[in-house]
Structure 1
Amino acid sequence: MNTRYALYLICCLFIFTASVTAQELKSPSEFLGYAPGSRFTRHHRVIAYYRHLAEAAPDRVKLQTYGATHEHRELIMCYISAPENISGLETIRKAHLESVRGNNNNDKAIVWMSYNVHGNESVSTEASMQTAYDLLTEKQQWLENTIVIIDPCVNPDGRDRYVNWYNQFANSPNNIDPDSKEHHEPWLNGRPNHYMFDLNRDWAWLTQKESRQRVKVFNQWLPHVHVDFHEQSINAPYYFAPGAEPLHEVITDWQKEFQATIGKNHARYFDANGWFYFTKEVFDLLYPSYGDTYPMYNGSIGMTYEQGGSGRAGLGVLTVTRDTLTLKDRLDHHYTTGISTVEIASRNAEKLNEEFRKFYTKKDFKYKNYVMSGNPDHTKALTRLLDKHRITYRFARQATVKGYHYATGEQGSLKTSEGDLVIPANQVKGTLVQVLFEPTTQLNDSLTYDITAWALPYAYGLQAVATRTETIPLLDEEQPAKDTLSVAPDPEAYAYISDWNSMKDARFLTALMNAGIRVRYSEKPFSVAGKEFERGSLIITRGDNSAHKGFVQQLSDITEQYEKEIIATPTGYVDQGRDFGSSSVKMIPEVKAGLLSGKPTSTLNVGEIWHFFEQQLQYPITLLDTDYFNFSRLSGYDVLILPEGSYGEFLDEEKKDRLKNWVKNGGKLIVIGNALHALKDDKDFGLKEKQQDTTSLKKNTTPYTTWEREKLKDNITGAIYKVNVDRTHPLAFGYPDTYFSLKRGNNAFQLLDEGNVAYLGDRGDPISGFAGSEARKKIANTLVYGVHRHGKGNVIYMVDNPLFRGFWENGKLFFVNALFMVH
């Protein structure tokens, strides 16, 4: 065989192989067996399609499993680019991250697209598959200088919940009548994750495992562009960037400009198709925990795209304009903006890299350092969050630091102890630090989509100063803050004592209880063994646990696991206070708790409580659905929790009487947020709403165009309030005499006849965040947390939800106290 003929055969074989490979790369319709937009695809089939792409085009596609959900569904990233980029993906990633240090060696644009963070906004996952396929075929010219990262489904548990429900109840063929059952999801709809959390509001707080796993990868890439695909009302046209006011002041001019550049390109395609859209309305860029703002504060061009549809749309639905909105329509719109985003990023790769590097150059922030002092457990909890965001921190020496004092809202000073936390603004994540720690958020528009205050020192219950001083006395880098070291318990001790002032202590308690170890607590301060102990301190006696085999060793193991310091005492005779046999030293009972769920409760608050028990407190809870509440044996529960919700007709007089009798016989009822309205004006519940006359001629004659803004006077949009606390009450054990509460509305209830544990004073002014002028007047001198005694039991009122979105760390001990300390 001559050389020329051999080369000819090799070329033919190469062409044949390439042809076979190209034929093997199947479109979504070829692989799934149905046209995109004609059916919903379950998550395992979506994963299978992306695996197919990776197998058919391994030189251009790389898959990464980055985690799993609570319901054990796989979470994946799909990297799509030209062959030379995929082969050098890790080199490109590292070169890009060097940009944050001013070394701009990367010339590729990095575009990350997140689909289906809300499970019932289900079209985006369908669009992701078509987008991925077309990028590998007819749109592959944009991949020469662009890495596209696709997360096809951020929330698989919610999405499969919706898809399975829809497939179960959809007509055949589908019914476009909006009254049809297929357009009305049940109470637990597909929007949230397993624990009913809104994952689109968890980017900064990272309370959910999906968020933690995703943000870990996000911070390994820090893309130039991040798009979060959503859906909204069936009657709304498409929304894309630019975002609405208020825009946070740290957002750069370039980020605003590039949002507009992308938006104009989307408009070009939408105009050509005659599709309706809007920009610069509704979806602002302020709250830091969204899928557009969190990337913005990390240097990306973060954007939300909103298609009309969501859980009501199904395969097709009739809109208010008598048009039929189909799943195929929705898919086409999301596909178009996704492709348009990649196109503009590819055309502007050089500029994206240049501006990304500029974003990370040193900025002249108003505050140079954030210095925090307080409970070491709270500090440790905060540093765990900072580590997940790759925010650096140092530890202070003993000194006096001056600056803006968070507790007073004025200039002041803070005496630091060795090991107190210092977070410098001058660091790679400086912009994110500025947003998460700033004492007050600058609002250029008070009409916002979410809360307006979230500063982490308040959330973690730490004393803090924001200082304009660059230099703070610091420990050497080799000397981090010291963790508390556990010491093996003395097996001959009469009792072992532990403090009570953090969620770490709460988890220590539940670990002991789950192990069958009996624990007491003191209602009074006392001193013994040369140490002073506050109210709520835990007391574990050998006598209470004499029947527990291996008690001392198990106590030692749990103490070591939770890094707890326990003090052994050879006697129950205290130096000051009440001895351990006193009636004020009470046994902590095993508590069986029930949580009302189902209509009309709030899925979000039910999820917050459910997650708190199982994932944070590690203590069991039973969900009791409203469908069978009448048949539930309440006598089997020590605690019943009424979460937020509009109870309306559900909580009728018969059910109220049942609750009253249960409380009267020793039950403990915990009522949260707007659920309090269901119990007001009933003498047995002792709760009255505060009324305020806001009628005025001006209000009645407000022009139509200013109605929305006029209503802001009555609203509180997530503001932080300084609250007075009766720290002698068991509900407040572990707290100082003030507490900073996140208030999300103008609910106002009069102070109780007694049992006012936390309450607002004469002024209704927040220390941070927005509150309207009328709302400020209304909430002055009102209840925040209180306990009403009824018979042998108690009703615990929590006007402000201490478990809101799981991130207000300092409020959680109130809830634990309600479970175990209030009797």
Structure 2
Amino acid sequence: MKIKSLLIIAFFTFSTLIAQEIQSPSSFLGYEIGTRFTRHHKVVDYFKYVSNQLTNVQLEKYGETNEHRPLYVTYISSQENIDNLENIRKANLSQIGILSENSENKKAIVWLSYNVHGNEASSTEAAMLTLYELVSSKKAWLENTVVILDPCINPDGRDRYVNWYNQVKSTPYDIGQDAKEHNEPWPGGRPNHYLFDLNRDWAWATQIESQQRIKIYNKWMPHVHVDFHEQGINSPYYFAPAAAPFHEIITDWQRDFQTEIGKNHAKYFDKEGWLYFTKESFDLLYPSYGDTYPTFMGAIGMTYEQAGHGRAGLAIQTDEGEVLTLKDRAIHHKTTGLSTVEMSSKNAAKLNSEFKKYFDNTDLKYKSFVVKNDNQDKINRLKALLDKHEISYENTENGTVKGYIYETQKDGKLNVNTSDLVVHTNQPKGKMVNVLFEPKVKILDSLTYDITAWSIPYAHGFKAIASKTSVSSTLKNNNFGFNNVIDKTAYAYITKWNSLKDATFLADLLKNNIVPRFSEKPFTTNGISFERGSLIILRNDNRSTNFDEKLKKIADKNMRQLTTTSTGFSDAGVDFGSYSVKPIHKQKVALLSGEGTSSLSFGEIWHFFETELQYPLTIIDSDYFSRVDFSNYDVIILPNGYYSSVLKKSTLEKLTNWTRSGGTLIAIGGALNSFAGKKGFSLKRKDTKDKSDDEPNMIPYAAQERENANNLIAGAIFKSKVDNTHPLAFGYTDAYFTLKRSSSAYSYLPNGNVAYLTDTAPSISGFAGKNVLEKLPETLLFGEERKGRGSIVYMVDNPLFRSFWDNGKLFLANAVFLLNSDKLK
């Protein structure tokens, strides 16, 4: 007994010495947390320091950002758990069927993610405080809990904000809201390098940060995940439980345990007199958030929101006269983070048992989702997305499948063959499969925080069917190799045009000074039929000695199958010397950025050109746009934005004259306002008849928010008609599913209506207010207005939305390369 007591005393003495040896963040950094912002490399230094000092803390680098900042997670637990970490991980995956081992996990796994939005900068400061508290005063919770802590998901955005703030802040700081340090310039620190909102990218994983994080997230599959955020300076703290609507896939346990965690937070906040709210604003519907993605992967996914955001700086006076400090913000986030770990530790057994239950998918309505392989490039892109999430897929067997047809929105039959893809819900991540592929989202409340429709078959442009019975399938190796053959006697090489991969191939040709042509009409040569847009690469246009070798290398790299012909005389359709077979010259593209432009829209286009088309473009700032010599460019793209101060009368006239000389002007979303209803442009707004301004509003105050929803559209999918004989729509069928996020509507153009909603304007999935639905029939989606030798392309909806709306991307490539690129300027 005496020996045991001595051992206990020795243990606590040793633990105390260890705690004393570990410096707090403030001691290590040389300043108190909250008195300045800590740049990313110093945050990393502190986490390295702790992991080097303590053997029960492990630091793992999981990736790197576009700007080469490192991405880390830290594992914090008891020494016994850290020594057994890999076995804990495998046991967790085994109990839900991802690994075949028959193991039982008894540890709670909690993942805390900080600073997904760069200018919500208090949470990374809180991450350091949380780490220190866990290893010093909260070690008892770690006996049955593994904490995975990511101190900064978005270091590029955060350092953009921190560096700006440090440059402009007053000394001492200025709490006045008008001060420069509280008014962040465009584009702000919220997004990543390519100006994407990483909190909307979890499911689509278009960004390098998301791709690397998802890989390690799926390696662990935590039971609890918290995403730390900030909101406006006047808001109280928000924590779970979340607001409605909840996706129907979410279990009662997931909702109930959110409430239990929230009550525990409230206990600490009540003690300090801190204001907070729950059950409002932040719903659990859209699958690509840092709370919903983990939720649909079985976790208790939660968002915590602290007042502050990019406006707060080190301190700011709120509208209520209170001074909100960075120190306050960090402490609040530390409190909820620790409270989450505490509740997880107390409920570790229940977390594991309920987590295991979540992965029983026998009650799901749809058992299989089948997509037709009418385009191998699209299938490959879908496979790549599913691979990122470690979702399995197979190929169907020859036959007929009954179910819900996406294209018609009715039950029917679809003939399938062994090249078609099937994704079953009878797999561990079957609930996530259901969420990503379901034809219609069940929406119990129209007041949502984000879009209400996202189904992959619509977003990727597939013919598809959802089956309530399991579809027969086999695992098949569909790897296709490309090894084109050089034919130095060939009159021309020909390749198809119906996917983004074809556009990337074209961009590669142009960068390598190979001149292709495209056909505006179908043709047949050597018994092979080619559709509109097909690329024809003539030897006569490319007389370099190594033309064939260079072309083969580019085609093989881009996995494009080349067809050769020894004649320009077609079996049917146009010959290769026809006026309808037009050369594509290298296009010099400019993209507007800066004040007035939507940073998100600009970022989508920038990212599209650099990472997908891999084609150069020149970024021009709105500050000096009016002084630019437009004749240096063939294509100018105006992202979604508001350009009243940019496109003034003289600049608009200058742009119009440039267009008449052969330029292509592409206007997206809000940029159309600069042309609608103005003299010299055909674009007209379509509005419904509103109530007279003199008519009193008799709707009760409490009902007005829901009444206003009649004028909103929360990201709904619509089916449009497409004129696929127009170059802007080459490679498309006669229908296109668009994601509408704006109630703006424009009447048909006199000519050049390429994609448009018909008189019925059917909503396929998602919420749209009744007043919006009245306005949308017979409205433009994508169109071209000819101006002299050039044209203006109007894109009412965003064809690149968050880079996940895959089927819209070819429209933009067509606008850039096929409309006026035959003209030498």
TM superposition score category, shorter chain reference = over 0.9
**Paired residue type of 1:379:** I
The answer for the alignment partner of 1:323 in structure 2 is 322
The answer for the alignment partner of 1:523 in structure 2 is 520
**Paired residue type of 1:329:** D
Aligned partners of 1:368, 1:337: CA distance in 2, in Å? 39
Say if 1:137 and 1:41 are closer, same or farther in 2 by CA, change over 3 A: same
Deviations 1:561-581 (A, max 9, x none): 222211111111111111111
Deviations 1:372-418 (A, max 9, x none): 10211111110100011111111012211111000011111111122
**Cα offset, 1:23, TM superposition:** 4.0
Q: Any residues of structure 2 matched to 1:25-40 within 5 Å, and which?
A: 25-40=22-37
TM-score (norm 1): 0.96
Aligned partners of 2:696, 2:107: CA distance in 1, in Å? 56
The answer for the alignment partner of 1:805 in structure 2 is 802
One of 571, 574, 584 as aligned partner of 1:588: 584
The answer for the alignment partner of 2:451 in structure 1 is 451
Q: Do 1:396 and 1:421's aligned partners in 2 also have CA atoms closer than 8 Å?
A: yes
Aligned partners of 2:129, 2:472: CA distance in 1, in Å? 56
Q: Do 1:77 and 1:150's aligned partners in 2 also have CA atoms closer than 8 Å?
A: yes
One of 661, 665, 670 as aligned partner of 1:665: 661
**Paired residue type of 2:817:** F
**Cα offset, 1:367, TM superposition:** 0.9
Say if 1:679 and 1:129 are closer, same or farther in 2 by CA, change over 3 A: same
Aligned partners of 1:484, 1:262: CA distance in 2, in Å? 52
**Cα offset, 1:622, TM superposition:** 0.9
Q: Give the gaps of 5 or more residues in structure 2.
A: 1-6, 821-825
Aligned partners of 1:296, 1:17: CA distance in 2, in Å? 40
Mapped pair 1:162 → 2:161: yes
Of the structure 1 ranges 172-181 and 94-103, higher mean CA displacement relative to structure 2 is found in 94-103
3-state SS in 2 of match to 1:811: helix
3-state SS in 2 of match to 1:339: helix
Mapped pair 1:243 → 2:239: no
Mapped pair 1:413 → 2:404: no
Q: Any residues of structure 2 matched to 1:640-789 within 5 Å, and which?
A: 640-695=636-691, 700-789=697-786
**Cα offset, 1:205, TM superposition:** 0.5
Q: Any residues of structure 2 matched to 1:34-49 within 5 Å, and which?
A: 34-49=31-46
Aligned partners of 1:253, 1:698: CA distance in 2, in Å? 46
Mapped pair 1:63 → 2:59: yes
Aligned partners of 2:450, 2:341: CA distance in 1, in Å? 29
Aligned partners of 2:346, 2:167: CA distance in 1, in Å? 45
**Cα offset, 1:239, TM superposition:** 0.2
Deviations 1:44-92 (A, max 9, x none): 00000000001111x1110110000000000000111111111111111
**Paired residue type of 1:552:** D
Aligned partners of 2:523, 2:310: CA distance in 1, in Å? 57
3-state SS in 2 of match to 1:516: coil
3-state SS in 2 of match to 1:452: coil
One of 626, 632, 637 as aligned partner of 2:633: 637
**Paired residue type of 2:327:** K
Of the structure 1 ranges 763-772 and 750-759, higher mean CA displacement relative to structure 2 is found in 763-772
Aligned partners of 1:141, 1:218: CA distance in 2, in Å? 25
**Cα offset, 1:19, TM superposition:** 7.3
Aligned partners of 1:16, 1:81: CA distance in 2, in Å? 19
Aligned partners of 2:810, 2:696: CA distance in 1, in Å? 41
Matched residues, number: 809
Aligned partners of 2:131, 2:315: CA distance in 1, in Å? 24
The answer for the alignment partner of 1:619 in structure 2 is 615
**Paired residue type of 1:738:** A
3-state SS in 2 of match to 1:735: coil
The answer for the alignment partner of 1:489 in structure 2 is 486
Q: Do 1:646 and 1:674's aligned partners in 2 also have CA atoms closer than 8 Å?
A: yes
One of 47, 52, 55 as aligned partner of 1:50: 47
**Cα offset, 1:512, TM superposition:** 1.6
The answer for the alignment partner of 1:285 in structure 2 is 284
3-state SS in 2 of match to 1:415: strand
**Cα offset, 1:22, TM superposition:** 4.2
Say if 1:30 and 1:473 are closer, same or farther in 2 by CA, change over 3 A: same
Aligned partners of 1:140, 1:104: CA distance in 2, in Å? 26
Q: Any residues of structure 2 matched to 1:169-248 within 5 Å, and which?
A: 169-248=168-247
**Cα offset, 1:699, TM superposition:** 7.9
The answer for the alignment partner of 2:380 in structure 1 is 380
Aligned partners of 2:91, 2:177: CA distance in 1, in Å? 51
Aligned partners of 2:748, 2:12: CA distance in 1, in Å? 82
**Paired residue type of 2:398:** Q
3-state SS in 1 of match to 2:679: coil
Aligned partners of 1:302, 1:249: CA distance in 2, in Å? 15
3-state SS in 1 of match to 2:760: coil
Q: Do 2:396 and 2:419's aligned partners in 1 also have CA atoms closer than 8 Å?
A: yes
Aligned partners of 1:807, 1:797: CA distance in 2, in Å? 21
TM-score (norm 2): 0.96
3-state SS in 1 of match to 2:382: helix
The answer for the alignment partner of 1:3 in structure 2 is none
Aligned partners of 1:358, 1:435: CA distance in 2, in Å? 18
Q: Give the gaps of 5 or more residues in structure 1.
A: 1-9
Q: Do 2:361 and 2:431's aligned partners in 1 also have CA atoms closer than 8 Å?
A: no
Q: Do 1:759 and 1:782's aligned partners in 2 also have CA atoms closer than 8 Å?
A: yes
Q: Do 1:399 and 1:473's aligned partners in 2 also have CA atoms closer than 8 Å?
A: no
Say if 1:798 and 1:191 are closer, same or farther in 2 by CA, change over 3 A: same
Aligned partners of 1:14, 1:125: CA distance in 2, in Å? 32
3-state SS in 2 of match to 1:294: helix
Say if 1:55 and 1:592 are closer, same or farther in 2 by CA, change over 3 A: same
The answer for the alignment partner of 1:554 in structure 2 is 550
3-state SS in 1 of match to 2:473: coil
Deviations 1:650-687 (A, max 9, x none): 32111111111111111110000011011111232211
Identity %: 55
The answer for the alignment partner of 2:569 in structure 1 is 573
**Cα offset, 1:108, TM superposition:** 0.5
**Cα offset, 1:361, TM superposition:** 1.8
One of 788, 811, 815 as aligned partner of 1:814: 811
**Cα offset, 1:18, TM superposition:** 7.3
User: In angstroms, what is the RMSD of aligned CA positions?
Assistant: 1.7
